[in-house]
Amino acid sequence: MIVAEIHKIIASVKDALGAGPRSASHAPAPSIAVPVSPSARRAELASTFARELEAVGGNFLGILTPAEVTNRIVTLAGELGAMTVALGRGLMSDMDAIGEALERADCRIVRTIPVADTERAAMREQVANADLGIVEADFAIASTGTLAVVSTRDRPSSLTLLPPASLAIVQIDRVMANLAAVLAELGPGGVAANRLTLVTGPSRTADIEKRIVLGVHGPKSIHAIVVWPGDD
């Protein structure tokens, strides 16, 4: 019985081998790699970042041209009822123009400038007392909706940690797929030499009666704008 079954299996294999290759009409279609343009890739990353930011409780304000950014920030300050706004140095955004527009809207501006060590505590207190902190992030991480900010003396981490509302501006070409891409962009030297703050959604804790509470150890709301130059 077993021998007969073995012979049947061998015969089947021989028949299959004797049949030769399948006709072209039954062959699987070859896969074709469709090239993705840099703009399409950027749009995909920005869309993923927006989705993941919203998933962790953040507020995505849109992909805007540089000309649209200032008005959107002034509108946000009005929506939040922000009377005092802390501003850090920009990377590519014109933070002076943003500050002037906010002042015309009756906001008081705190500009984080390099100060002596003896004055840093006073500067930190002014930032903490602001209703809104605005910083230009070095990177956005699409896979987790995270903002990555390299802290400097005129763009301190207090901007993203102390005010109850935080807004990050990020350039479209700084939206990265994941943290590994950010670290690769910074390089070993950049990682070792700088303090990198990673912000994923509003501050939250469950230490108080086991309930999720926002804003205990940081901002209660996180907002983000992606800037896409109009000529790109």
pLDDT of 39:
92
Q: Which residues of the chain have pLDDT under 70?
A: 1-35, 203-218, 231-232
pLDDT of 114:
84
pLDDT of 160:
92
Distance between CA atoms of residues 82 and 165, nearest Å: 9
Contacts of 25 (CB under 8 A, 6+ apart): none
39-227 in CATH: which number? Answer: 3.40.50.10420
Return the SS3 of 224.
strand
Please state the pTM of the whole predicted model. 0.78
pLDDT of 3:
43
pLDDT of 65:
95
Pairing relationship of beta strands 108-111 and 84-87 according to DSSP bridges: parallel
pLDDT tens per residue, range 15-66: 544 554 545 555 566 666 666 788 999 999 999 999 999 999 999 999 999 9
And the tokens for 212?
Answer: 């999720």
Distance between CA atoms of residues 210 and 94, nearest Å: 43
pLDDT of 28:
60
Ordered by start, the domain boundaries in the chain are 39-227
pLDDT of 99:
96
